[in-house]
Structure 1
Amino acid sequence: MFKRPHLRAAKRLVNAPSALALLFLATACSPGQEQVEDQVSEPPVESTDSAAPEGLILPAVWQTKDLEFPITSVAVAGALGSTVAVTYEDGGLQFVDLDGERVTDKADIGVSEVSDGRYLMLQETPVTVFPGITSAGDLSLYIHGGELTEPLPYPLDAGTDDLIEGLCSADPVLDSDGILRVGFWTQGERRRLHTGRIVEVGTDLVLLLNEPIPAARDITACLLSDSGALVYTDPVVAAAEVNNRSKTYRFLVDDLGGYSLSNQDEEVQAFTVSDGITVRPPARPVDMAATGDARNGGYPGGVIVIGGQSANDAHMVTFIDPSRVTMEPFGYSPAE
C-alpha cells in the first residue's frame, strides 16, 4: 500500500533565505513508494591496455584542462544551459560547460558529492540547481544563476541524523514530482534507499520523503529511472542513464575502471572508452554522469561525463560520445 509522503521543513543556513531573495531581486531589477530493482548482473569487465581494443568502443572526444584538485564527483544538468558540476576532495565545487570551459571558479563551500541537476525557472528566475551532500554529511541544494558569482547552498531536511553517504537524482516525471526527484542512502543504513521529491512550498524548497525502500545488499550507486528506482552494489561505483530517441540506456563503471551498459531489454554488454587525438581519459574514473539532452557542446546522441586522474596526474573531466549506442534508429542491442 502506498504511504503518504512526509512533509519536512527545510533546514536553513543563516544566510540562505536572504541570498536566495537577493538572487531573485537581482534578476528581476510522483508520490509513493518506488519499486527498487537490485542490479546483480555480471560485473563490468576490467579495463586493460590494448592497442586495438575489441567489441563496443565509445570515443572520449573532449576534456577539461587540468582542474588542479582531486575530483570526488561529477554531475550534469542537461537541456538548456547544460552544465557539469564537479566536486573536489577539499570540499570545493565548480561548474564547467560541455565545452570543458569553466563557468565558475572553484568555491570552497564544503561539498563532498553532487548528483544530476536541472536548469529551470525558480520564482521567475533562470537557475541551475544541483542536489548534493555537504562535507558534514547533510543534504543540500546548490543553486547558481542571476547575479550569484558562486553556487548558493540551500540546506534540506533529509529526515535523518545519520550521515548521508550516497545520492542520485533525476528530473521530475509528474507535475507532483516538483523540481527534482532524489534518492539517497546513509552510512548507518546502506541497505535502505530513501526517495523523495523536492517541491516549492511558497518561497521555500522542501523535500517530501517517501517510505524507505529496502535493498538486498549494501548500495554503492543508484538511479532514478522514469519507471522507478534502481540500486547497484559492489563493484559498481557509478551509474548514469541516457534517454535519447525514446530509448533508455544505462551506463556503469566499476572500481577497476571497467565499463558496461544495458538497454531497455536488460541486455548487458561491456565496452571500452578509447583515447581521442589529444584526450586521455582516466584509467579508473571516480564518478560518472550523463544526459541525453545536451544542447550545448554538439552532442546529438547525448554525452557521458567522467571525472578522475589521468596517467600524467592531471585532474580532469572527460566527455564521452555514446552515439554509437544512442543514435541507433531501432535501438542498440549487443551483437550476437
Structure 2
Amino acid sequence: ALLFTAAACSKQEKAPEAAPEAAETAADVELPAVWATRKLEGPVGSVALSGGMNGVLAVAYKKGGLQLFNMQAEQLGEPMQFRVKALANGKAATIAGRTLTLFPGVTDAGEMKAYVFGEGLVAPAQVDLPVDGENSIEGVCSGPGGSEGLMRLAFWTEKNDRVLQAGMVRERDGELTWDRGDSTFTDFPIVSCAYTNDTLVASPRATASAALVRGSYSALLSLEKDAGLSLSTDLGMTTSLVHVRNGLTINAPKSPDAMTAMGTMLSGGYPGGLIVVAGEVSPDDNQVVFIDPSAVTLAETTN
C-alpha cells in the first residue's frame, strides 16, 4: 500500500484509499550526520523538535523519562521521570507572560499532556492539555497554527485507530485548550501522522512521520522498521531512500527507533532545518544524531 493518505485540513472527508501497489522508488538521497548527543540513558521511544532562535530537542525514553537538549546537544534542565510514549514537535510561545517551549505528548496511560520548559523553570513541567475528554490516545502529531492558534494537533486513539481527530491548540487565560476541528478518516489502522503545509497525512506503515517544509520545498520523511528512512515530495507516491553519511566521530544508528524533522532554520548552524534520528549507534550506546537536510531543503537557493 502507499505510504501515506491525506486529506486537506479544512475538509471533513474520507482520505483516499491507498493504491494496491507499493510506492515507486526515486533516486536515493545522501545527507550528512553533523552532530550527536552523548550516550543517552537508554533506548528512545520518541523525539520532537521545537524551532526558533532557541531550538529544543525533546527525548522520551522507552523505560520512562523525559530529557531536553539544545541544538548543541547539551542538556537543558534536569531530566524528569514522566512516562511519555509519544511526542509531537513543539513551539516557543509566550504563555501567562512567560516565554516557554511546549511539546504535546501522550503519556503511557494514553492521556494528552503538554511538556513545557523555559523562563522560571529548572526542569520540564507537565501540564494538562484537555482534548475534549478523549483518552486511550495512541499517537499524536502537530503542525503550525499560523494566526489561528499555537499549533494544530491531531491524534488517534487505541479504540478508534482509523480516524485522526484534529484541532487547534490555543492559550486562554494561561491555560492550554484544544478546539476540535474536522476529522480525517482512513481505511487502515494509523501508525503515524504528520502535517505538511495545509495537509494532514496518515501512514499505515511508517513508525514515525515528519514534514520537511522550507519555502517552496515540501517533503514528508518516514521511518519504517525494515526500510529505514525515506523521503517523498508527492505524499508517498514516489519515495527516495535516505542514506546518512557518517562523520569522522558521528555514526548514525543503522536501525533508528525514533525520528522527527523541521525544515525551518534552527539555531546552532542549521540554516536548512534539521532531521534527528535516535537509536543504538554501537552496542548499549543510544544517541540522538543530527542530520543536515540542506542538500534538499536549500537546493533551489544554492543551484
TM normalised by structure 2 equals 0.88
Contact 2:24–2:239 (8 Å) recurs in 1: no
Q: Percent identity?
A: 29
For the pair shown, which has the larger CA radius of gyration, 1 or 2?
1
Bigger proportion of residues as strand: 2
Q: Which of 87, 98, 121 is the equivalent residue of 1:125?
A: 98
Aligned residue for 1:329, secondary structure, equals helix
Residue matched to 1:64: 37
Cα distance in 1 for partners of 2:175, 2:16 equals 32
Cα distance in 1 for partners of 2:243, 2:22 equals 16
1:218-261 C-alpha deviation (Å, 9 max, x unpaired): 11110112222111112x11111122233212111111252211
Residue matched to 1:51: none
Contact 1:130–1:141 (8 Å) recurs in 2: yes
Aligned residue for 1:324, secondary structure, equals helix
Q: Which of 246, 258, 264 is the equivalent residue of 2:228?
A: 258
**Distance change (3 Å), C-alpha of 1:283 and 1:160:** farther
C-alpha displacement at 1:109, in angstroms? 2.1
Residue matched to 2:262: 291
Residue matched to 1:151: 124
Residue matched to 1:194: 165
Paired positions, count: 292
Cα distance in 1 for partners of 2:156, 2:257 equals 18
1:248 paired with 2:221, answer no
**Distance change (3 Å), C-alpha of 1:244 and 1:327:** same
Residue matched to 2:50: 77
Gapped regions of structure 1 (runs ≥ 5): 1-29, 46-53
* Code of the aligned partner of 2:172: V
C-alpha displacement at 1:202, in angstroms? 2.5
**Distance change (3 Å), C-alpha of 1:148 and 1:279:** same
1:247-285 C-alpha deviation (Å, 9 max, x unpaired): 212111111252211125864222211221111111111
Residue matched to 1:90: 63
TM normalised by structure 1 equals 0.80
Cα distance in 2 for partners of 1:268, 1:313 equals 32
Cα distance in 2 for partners of 1:136, 1:186 equals 12
Gapped regions of structure 2 (runs ≥ 5): 1-7
**Distance change (3 Å), C-alpha of 1:260 and 1:167:** same
1:222 paired with 2:215, answer no
Cα distance in 2 for partners of 1:118, 1:39 equals 32
Contact 1:242–1:290 (8 Å) recurs in 2: yes
**Distance change (3 Å), C-alpha of 1:39 and 1:251:** farther
Q: Which of 207, 213, 219 is the equivalent residue of 1:237?
A: 207
1:276-310 C-alpha deviation (Å, 9 max, x unpaired): 11111111112211112233121111110111122
Contact 1:90–1:108 (8 Å) recurs in 2: no
RMSD of the alignment, in Å?
2.5
Residue matched to 1:7: none
Cα distance in 2 for partners of 1:311, 1:38 equals 40
* Code of the aligned partner of 1:327: L
1:308 paired with 2:279, answer yes
